[in-house]
Structures are given as structure tokens and as C-alpha cells.
């Protein structure tokens, strides 16, 4: 056997794992999405859109809103870590902000369920402080709960990337702006953020895709309609054994996620050009 | 030196933790003056510049501009603009945006910014580059953009932090003169940090030599070159040859005793506060004159050493000899080469022989000790 072919058996196990555990199931579900009672057709998709178009819009809106809020929060955290002048406050924030990253989504859902419910910890605290009367207390266990859960869980991850990128920005570029009279907010918006824009985009896209695939948070927090696509997929499979519509919904999520990835790819190509 | 005190530093000290980076800095700079802060790495020169710019606060002392205390004012309220060693151009902005940013911060109108940016571009020879990003510029162009950005806001004082050290050697030579001519034309006060002796000599009206966070000497280039105030300054200004001699003042002269390798001699005191005892003698290789031992003649006041050529090289323009004088070795230049092994006499004229009372019998270290810890230089 020629020597260059020797490499092939070496990569074969890894290749096999990818082929049989990732690519094959993906192709099978894609094919399954177009199969209606043994024949090919758009039936699953029309059914998915008829039943769940509201949920698809709901998913896109919730995740887009969460992504925007995550972006703002992580810029604020990274900015304070980079530009903050109070060393103790910076040290405390640096120590604190990463913790949610190590908490699984299902636990986040559980925590926020007890925290945001109508008679949950948040409302109880407000009532005890006299800021809220029991009559006015309302549950946040709807779309707002999902957004809060996503932002709380995903901000540390993006902030970690953004703060790292900001720390590696040439400090002189910050001081040059300060020297010319830029306030710290202007330095953040006009000098720091543009220099870490690519890292921020990557972080937000990874976050977007992660949030697209979370099942536990909508199930724990928002057990009503409209809900997120993941909950619908679980419902189709578990309650009806309807893999066709579930696969169609999966393809729709995949298209949504990859459209965001496409934006990223285009931006990175433009930057390199 | 008493000046009209446009920019004044009084008793400035700066510490980083328990480490004193600067102490007892007193300096008065006139309007339109070009001052070079010269020193080796870690001497505190960049710290002093950053302190002037307002990025760090002194632990003691005052900074005054036109008799106004600016010690604790923020960087932009001091009328100073800093050009960074790394240029610190904003990579996401074009040349025009970089130059115009300071004006934008000041709320200048769009048209006002455009005309000022155009003026800066023509002043600095950056025409046609306004839409380029810094990554698409050469080192020299970047340096000029950084300069344009600082000058655009029309500062009273221009602070330059080794702005030439990232340019290649040939461009650096022309930029020195361009920068100096520009400073004269604009009549701007400039403070230039450098570790390059020649750069400081060529560009500055006055050189301030820093050593270990203190001013070792301040004076015109000619003063610090020909009348160094200390052994450190002499060494830093190129008088690297060092010998230990003994002598005593006699009237207006300083009489030097004969040593194992030298004949007795005497040099005018010329106001130097030398006392009897061991002295450290320093001179530059190019100030020494080299003769074959046989043909030595009396050439005037100074001192003559006898030794043997140990090595010879040609750095260009003259031959450089390493001459062994007993235990010590010195460098001496001559118009023609002496073969290694030749017995020679090295004559150092009185005006080129720098004498300092040695703090101890051993000659002082020629290099300043960098303080440990984080210092900017």
C-alpha cells in the first residue's frame, strides 16, 4: 500500500463517528421531513406552518431579542472590566459574571421558575419591601421569563469572549482617545466595540444557535402557547410519534440558524477582502 | 535654569507600589522649546511623559501650564496631545477619521473637520490617503497620521513618546529633520522622549537626561555633550572609556599623578568641583589621539597613556583600536590603522577629558540600574 494511503485507516474511526452519528441522522431526518406516508412531498411543511407558524415567529422574536440584550449586557460587562477605574469593583465583577455559564439550562429554568412566579421570590421580595401590593403581583413565567433565562445564562459566555478580545486591544488606542477628550462611554462605543466587533458577532451567533436548541427553558417556564419550536418538536414526537412534522420543524430551525451563520461568513469574508 | 515657565514641573515624584519611579523632578520649559527627555530603559522618562499627559497622577509635586495647576486635570483639559510609540491609530477608522476624531469630540462642524483634516494632510504629505485604513499604510505614513491626529486639535504642547523608534533607520533620519522643522514652523512646545542620544542631540533645544528617576543633567546638546555633570552623563553621552587616576587641584589646574600606564599631566579645572584623591576619567574614542610610541610629541594640555594595541577594526571613516593600558582597555580612533601588538601612546586633550571624583576607588557602573517593577520606558 502506498504510504499516503496509510493515513486513511488512521482517520477512519473519527470519520465513521461523524458519518454515522451526525451526517447520516441529519440526512435521514432531512429526507424524513419530505416523506408523507411513503411518498415525497411538502405535506409536513404545510402542516408545520399551519400549526406552528405563530411559534416560529415567537421563536425568532424571542431569540433575536435575547441576542440583542446579551450583546448589550456583554459589551457593558467587557467594557467595565476593561475601562473600569475602581479596582475592587472590577475584581468583584470579574469573579462574579462567569457563574451562570456553569449552570445547566434545566437548572436555570428551575431557578427562574421559583424566582419569577406570581408568588415567587422576586414578587415576595418586592411585596415585603413595600414596593408592590399582592394584587399587582404578576407572573413573569411567559415570554419574558424565557428572555430573562436566556440572557442570564448566555451573557457570561459572550462577555467572556468580548472581555478577552477587549483586553487584547492595544491600550494605547484607548489612551489616545482619552487624550483627545473622549469620555469612557465614547471610548467604549467608538473605539473598543468596533475593534472587537468580529468576536462579538461570533459570540452572539454561537449564542443564537445554542438558544435555538434549548428545550428545557421553554418547557419549564412557558408551558403555554405560543411556545418555542423545540417544545413543538418534542410534543410532535412524544405525543403523536409524528416524526415527519418534527423533522420539518427541525429543518426550519436549521435554516434559521444557518442564515445567521451565513451573515457571519459574509462579514468575515468582507473583513478579509 | 530659570525660564519664563510656560510649562513647569515642581518637585514631581511618582511611585509604583513601594518603588519610586521618579523623584525630585524640577523642570521649567519655555514656550516653543523642543525638549528631549533622554535616558535608558527604565529611567522613568515615559512615566514622566505619561504624568505630563495626565494618564497617571504624581505622588508628589505639581505640573503647571501658564502658572495654572494642571496636576490633577484629565488628559484632554491640559492642552497637550500625545503621539504614541505604537502610534495607537484606530484600525477601524480611515486616515481622515483618525485625524478628525479629536475635532469630532470637540463638536466641530463636519465642514470644519473636513477642512482641518485636509490642512493636516497637506502639512504632513498625506494627500490622497484619507480613505485608507491604517493597516494599508507604511510605517512612515502611520507615524505622520499619528502626528496629524495630535496636531489637528491645535495643542499648545506636543508630547512625543519615542515616535521614531518604529521607523526603519533611513526614514528615521529624514523624519527627525521634518519633525523638527514642523515644530519650529508651528511654534509648538514639544517634549520628546527618546533613548537615542543622537536623535536627542539633533532635534532638541535642550536635553534632559534622566537616570534612576532623577534628572542627571539638563542643558543644551552642546553642554551635555562637552560638559557632562556626572560620570553617568559622560558615559551616556558616549564617553565610554573609563580609567582610574589620582590627582589634586593646584591653583586653577588639576594635577594628575603619573600612573602605571600614564605620565603625569594637568588639565584646567574650569570650575569643576574636583577634590584631591582618586578620580574617574572618561573620554570618547574619537576624542583620543593615537601615536606610535616612538613619535610621541607634546601636543598641549591633557594626558598621555602608553599601551599596546590589542585589536583594530574599521567601523567607517576611521580605524578603531582597542588599546591595553596595563589592566584597563580603552578604545581610541585614528586615521590609519596600527597593527595589533604595536606600542602606542594615547593622548586625550584636556577639553575632552572628563574627570569626576570617584564615590569609591572603583569606577562607577556605566549603565544606570533599571528599577525593578513596572515602569514605562
What pLDDT, on a 0 to 100 scale, did the predictor assign at position B326? 83
**Is residue B29 helix, strand or coil?**
strand
For chain A, helix, strand, coil in percent to 5 are: 80, 0, 20
Which positions ≥6 away from A74 have C-beta within 8 Å?
Answer: A155, A158, A159, A161, A162, A163, A200, A203
Q: Please list the residues that pair with B312 across neighbouring strands.
A: B321
Give the residue-averaged pLDDT of A76-88.
92
What pLDDT, on a 0 to 100 scale, did the predictor assign at position B376? 42
What pLDDT, on a 0 to 100 scale, did the predictor assign at position A150? 95
B272 has a pLDDT exceeding 90: no
Give the residue-averaged pLDDT of B238-264.
85
d(CA A149, CA A147): 5
Which positions ≥6 away from A83 have C-beta within 8 Å?
Answer: A174, A184, A187, A188, A192
- Which chain A residue is nearest to residue B147, measuring alpha carbons? A176
Structure confidence by residue, pLDDT tens digits, B294-306: 776 666 788 888 8
Instruction: Establish if B2 belongs to a structural domain.
Output: no
Instruction: Establish if B174 belongs to a structural domain.
Output: yes
Q: Do A172 and B86 touch (CB under 8 A)?
A: yes
A189 has a pLDDT exceeding 80: yes
Per DSSP, helices labelled H in chain B are: 45-53, 95-105, 110-124, 139-152, 169-186, 197-203, 221-226, 231-236
For residue B359, name the pLDDT band (cuts at 50, 70, 90). Answer: low
B253 has a pLDDT exceeding 90: no
Q: Are residues B149 and B263 in the same domain?
A: no
Instruction: Establish if B210 belongs to a structural domain.
Output: yes
Give the residue-averaged pLDDT of B173-189.
90
A22 has a pLDDT exceeding 70: yes
Q: Do A172 and B91 touch (CB under 8 A)?
A: no
Q: Which residues of B touch A267 (CB under 8 A)?
A: none
For residue B4, name the pLDDT band (cuts at 50, 70, 90). Answer: low
- Which chain B residue is nearest to residue A181, measuring alpha carbons? B76
Contact of A158 with A70, CB cutoff 8 Å: yes
- Range(s) of the domain holding residue B315: 239-357
Instruction: Establish if B256 belongs to a structural domain.
Output: yes
The grid cell for B134 is 491604517
Instruction: Establish if B363 belongs to a structural domain.
Output: no
Partner-chain residue, chosen from A172, A173, A181, that has the shortest CB–CB distance to B105: A181
What pLDDT, on a 0 to 100 scale, did the predictor assign at position B377? 40
Q: What is the mean pLDDT of chain B?
A: 87
What pLDDT, on a 0 to 100 scale, did the predictor assign at position B246? 87
Q: Are residues B176 and B258 in the same domain?
A: no
The grid cell for A222 is 412557558
Q: Are residues B254 and B214 in the same domain?
A: no
Q: Do A175 and B84 touch (CB under 8 A)?
A: yes
What pLDDT, on a 0 to 100 scale, did the predictor assign at position B363? 41
What pLDDT, on a 0 to 100 scale, did the predictor assign at position B275? 85
Structure confidence by residue, pLDDT tens digits, A190-242: 999 999 999 999 999 999 999 999 999 999 888 787 899 999 999 999 999 99
d(CA B201, CA B237): 10
d(CA B115, CA B121): 10
Structure confidence by residue, pLDDT tens digits, B111-150: 999 999 999 999 888 999 989 999 999 988 999 999 999 9
CATH number (domain holding residue B260): 2.40.50.140
φ/ψ (deg, to 5) at B5:
65, 55
B364 has a pLDDT exceeding 50: no
Q: Are residues B296 and B349 in the same domain?
A: yes
B371 has a pLDDT exceeding 60: no
Q: Are residues B142 and B260 in the same domain?
A: no
Q: Which residues of B touch A184 (CB under 8 A)?
A: none
Contact of A244 with A32, CB cutoff 8 Å: yes
pTM of the predicted structure, to 2 decimals: 0.79
Q: Which residues of A touch B81 (CB under 8 A)?
A: 179-180
Which positions ≥6 away from B50 have C-beta within 8 Å?
Answer: B56, B376
CATH number (domain holding residue B208): 3.40.50.300
For residue B165, name the pLDDT band (cuts at 50, 70, 90). Answer: confident
Q: Are residues B217 and B323 in the same domain?
A: no
d(CA A259, CA A254): 8
What pLDDT, on a 0 to 100 scale, did the predictor assign at position A167? 94
B365 has a pLDDT exceeding 80: no
Structure confidence by residue, pLDDT tens digits, A106-145: 999 999 999 998 888 998 999 999 888 888 888 888 899 9
Does A267 or B182 have the greater pLDDT score? B182
B366 has a pLDDT exceeding 50: no
Q: Do A170 and B86 touch (CB under 8 A)?
A: yes
**Is residue B63 helix, strand or coil?**
strand
Total domains in chain B come to 2
What pLDDT, on a 0 to 100 scale, did the predictor assign at position B88? 93
Residues constituting chain A:
273
Give the residue-averaged pLDDT of B227-253.
88
Instruction: Establish if B276 belongs to a structural domain.
Output: yes
**Which DSSP category does A34 fall into?**
T
| A186 part of contact set with chain B, CB < 8 Å | yes
Q: What is the mean pLDDT of chain A?
A: 91
Nearest alpha-carbon partner for B146 in B127, B131, B126: B126
Instruction: Establish if B225 belongs to a structural domain.
Output: yes
Q: Are residues B116 and B155 in the same domain?
A: yes
Nearest alpha-carbon partner for B83 in B185, B203, B164: B164
Q: Are residues B75 and B141 in the same domain?
A: yes
Give the residue-averaged pLDDT of A94-110.
92
d(CA A253, CA B37): 63
Q: Are residues B145 and B284 in the same domain?
A: no
Instruction: Establish if B373 belongs to a structural domain.
Output: no
Q: Are residues B222 and B265 in the same domain?
A: no
Q: Are residues B162 and B61 in the same domain?
A: yes
Q: Are residues B186 and B329 in the same domain?
A: no
The grid cell for B38 is 533622554
Give the residue-averaged pLDDT of B278-285.
91
Domains and CATH numbers, chain A: 52-272 (1.10.3720.10)
Amino acid at each position: 500500500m502506498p504510504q499516503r494511503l496509510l493515513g486513511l485507516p488512521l482517520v477512519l474511526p473519527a470519520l465513521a463517528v461523524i458519518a454515522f452519528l451526525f451526517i447520516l441522522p441529519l440526512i435521514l431526518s432531512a429526507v424524513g421531513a419530505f416523506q408523507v406516508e411513503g411518498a415525497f412531498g411538502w405535506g409536513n411543511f404545510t402542516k408545520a406552518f399551519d400549526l406552528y407558524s405563530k411559534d416560529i415567529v415567537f421563536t425568532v422574536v424571542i431569540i433575536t431579542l435575547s441576542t440583542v440584550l446579551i450583546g448589550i449586557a456583554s459589551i457593558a460587562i467587557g467594557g467595565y472590566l476593561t475601562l473600569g477605574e475602581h479596582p475592587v469593583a472590577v475584581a468583584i465583577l470579574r469573579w462574579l459574571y462567569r457563574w451562570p455559564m456553569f449552570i445547566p439550562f434545566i437548572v436555570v429554568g428551575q431557578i427562574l421558575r421559583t424566582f419569577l412566579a406570581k408568588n415567587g421570590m422576586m414578587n415576595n421580595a418586592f411585596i415585603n419591601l413595600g414596593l408592590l401590593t399582592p394584587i399587582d403581583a404578576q407572573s413573569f413565567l411567559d415570554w419574558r421569563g424565557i428572555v430573562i433565562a436566556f440572557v442570564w445564562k448566555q451573557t457570561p459566555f459572550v462577555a467572556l469572549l468580548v472581555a478577552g478580545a477587549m483586553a487584547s486591544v492595544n491600550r494605547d488606542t484607548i489612551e489616545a482617545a482619552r487624550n483627545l477628550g473622549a469620555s469612557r462611554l465614547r471610548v467604549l462605543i467608538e473605539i473598543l466595540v468596533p475593534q472587537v466587533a468580529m468576536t462579538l458577532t461570533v459570540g452572539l451567533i454561537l449564542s443564537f444557535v445554542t438558544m435555538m436548541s434549548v428545550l428545557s427553558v421553554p418547557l419549564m417556564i412557558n408551558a403555554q402557547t405560543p411556545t418555542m419550536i423545540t417544545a413543538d418538536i418534542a410534543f410532535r414526537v412524544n405525543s403523536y410519534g409524528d416524526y415527519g412534522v418534527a423533522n420539518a420543524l427541525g429543518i426550519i430551525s436549521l435554516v434559521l440558524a444557518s442564515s445567521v451563520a451565513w451573515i457571519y461568513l459574509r462579514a468575515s469574508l468582507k473583513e478579509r477582502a | 535654569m530659570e525660564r519664563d515657565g510656560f510649562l513647569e514641573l515642581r518637585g514631581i515624584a511618582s511611585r509604583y507600589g513601594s518603588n519610586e519611579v521618579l523623584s525630585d523632578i524640577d523642570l521649567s520649559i519655555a514656550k516653543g522649546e523642543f525638549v528631549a527627555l533622554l535616558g535608558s530603559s527604565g529611567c522613568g522618562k515615559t512615566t514622566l511623559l505619561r504624568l505630563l499627559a495626565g494618564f497617571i497622577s504624581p505622588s508628589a509635586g505639581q505640573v503647571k501650564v501658564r502658572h495654572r495647576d494642571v496636576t490633577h486635570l484629565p488628559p484632554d483639559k491640559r492642552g497637550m496631545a500625545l503621539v504614541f510609540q505604537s502610534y495607537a491609530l484606530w484600525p477601524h477608522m480611515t486616515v481622515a477619521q483618525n485625524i478628525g476624531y479629536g475635532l469630532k469630540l470637540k463638536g466641530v462642524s463636519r465642514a470644519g473637520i473636513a477642512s482641518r483634516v485636509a490642512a493636516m494632510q497637506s502639512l504632513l504629505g498625506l494627500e490622497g490617503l484619507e480613505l485608507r485604513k491604517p493597516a494599508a499604510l507604511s510605517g512612515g505614513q502611520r507615524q505622520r497620521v499619528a502626528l496629524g491626529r495630535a496636531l489637528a486639535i491645535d495643542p499648545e504642547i506636543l508630547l512625543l513618546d519615542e515616535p521614531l523608534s518604529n521607523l526603519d533607520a533611513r526614514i528615521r533620519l529624514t523624519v527627525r529633520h521634518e519633525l523638527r522643522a514642523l515644530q519650529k514652523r508651528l511654534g509648538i512646545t514639544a517634549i520628546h522622549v527618546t533613548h537615542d542620544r543622537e536623535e536627542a542631540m539633533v532635534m532638541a533645544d535642550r536635553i534632559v537626561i534622566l537616570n534612576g528617576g532623577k534628572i542627571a543633567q539638563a542643558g543644551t546638546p552642546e553642554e551635555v555633550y562637552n560638559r557632562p555633570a556626572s560620570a553617568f552623563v559622560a558615559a551616556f553621552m558616549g564617553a565610554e572609556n573609563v580609567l582610574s587616576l589620582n590627582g589634586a587641584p593646584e591653583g586653577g589646574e588639576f594635577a594628575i599623578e603619573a600612573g602605571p600606564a600614564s605620565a603625569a599631566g594637568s588639565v584646567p579645572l574650569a570650575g569643576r568641583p574636583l577634590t584631591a584623591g582618586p578620580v574617574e576619567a572618561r573620554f570618547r574614542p574619537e576624542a583620543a589621539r593615537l601615536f606610535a610610541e616612538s613619535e610621541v610629541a607634546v601636543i598641549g594640555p591633557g594626558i598621555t597613556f602608553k599601551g599596546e594595541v590589542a585589536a583594530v577594526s574599521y567601523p567607517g571613516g576611521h580605524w578603531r583600536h582597542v588599546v591595553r593600558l596595563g589592566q584597563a582597555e580603552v578604545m581610541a580612533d585614528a586615521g590609519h590603522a596600527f597593527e595589533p601588538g604595536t606600542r602606542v601612546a594615547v593622548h586625550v586633550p584636556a577639553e575632552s577629558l572628563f574627570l569626576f571624583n570617584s564615590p569609591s576607588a572603583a569606577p562607577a557602573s556605566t549603565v544606570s540600574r533599571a528599577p525593578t517593577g513596572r515602569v514605562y520606558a
